[in-house]
Amino acid sequence: MPNDERGQGPPVTLDLAGFRFERAIFEVRYSPALMLWDRAGELWTEATDKWPGLELLRAQPASTHFKVGVDQEMIVELGASRIVFHRPELPLSGFTDTSKSFLDIVARQLGLKTLTRVGLRLLFYREFPDREGAGSALLGTGLVSLPEGRFFGMERVPVVGECSVTWETKGVGVRVWVGCQHR
């Protein structure tokens, strides 16, 4: 039985295989690493030796931002460092190897002893012909259930929606967000 216009009915799957892998971001956070002011040159010289072709995008006292080719970015800030791969390939072995090497350089150069947060963000997307189609697909998953009746003076189904689920333990948290965006 197909979903009705409110997205109700049997669940529809938005299989991850139908999505494109857009970005992988690895980020570490730490207490302000004031050594950045003294060691930025050494840090990026070591990084340039490791990744020839590293190109400066922006340098400010509290933040330095470099890129490698068109698909990789490396950022070091007073309280966080991150590496971004655009259009990454699965499996993520190249991403993980680069992330580990980058973190090793940052930790050594800035004298980091403790990380306050370690995060991994994976972004996937799927294109739809219009916002209504994207909203309908999301509502069709059954993740979001719309109330019956008239709300805000309308009886229409919302054009877009979103759903977020978070799992947390003392030291680990995972958040999955599914939503519709205009790009």
Q: Is residue 171 part of a domain?
A: no
Q: Is residue 75 part of a domain?
A: yes
Q: pLDDT averaged over the chain?
A: 85
Rounded CA gap, 39 and 105, in Å? 11
Q: Is residue 10 part of a domain?
A: no
pLDDT of residue 38: 95
pLDDT of residue 164: 81
Q: Is 26 left (phi over 0), alpha (psi -120 to 50) or beta?
A: beta
* Domain containing residue 91: 20-122
pLDDT greater than 60 at residue 139: yes
Q: Is residue 102 part of a domain?
A: yes
Q: Is residue 175 part of a domain?
A: no
Q: Is residue 53 part of a domain?
A: yes
| Length of the chain in terms of residues written | 183
pLDDT greater than 70 at residue 2: no
Summarised one tens digit per residue, pLDDT across range 25-82 is 999 999 999 999 999 999 999 999 999 999 999 999 999 999 999 999 999 999 999 9
CATH number where 70 lies: 3.30.310
Summarised one tens digit per residue, pLDDT across range 93-118 is 899 999 999 999 999 999 999 999 99
> Which residues lie closer than 8 Å to 112 by C-beta, 6 or more apart?
30, 33, 106
pLDDT greater than 70 at residue 120: yes
**How many domains, in total, are found in the chain?**
1
Q: Is residue 136 part of a domain?
A: no
Q: What pTM does this model have?
A: 0.81
Q: Is residue 183 part of a domain?
A: no
Summarised one tens digit per residue, pLDDT across range 150-171 is 777 776 666 667 778 888 888 8
CB 183: neighbour CB atoms within 10 A? 4
pLDDT greater than 60 at residue 11: no
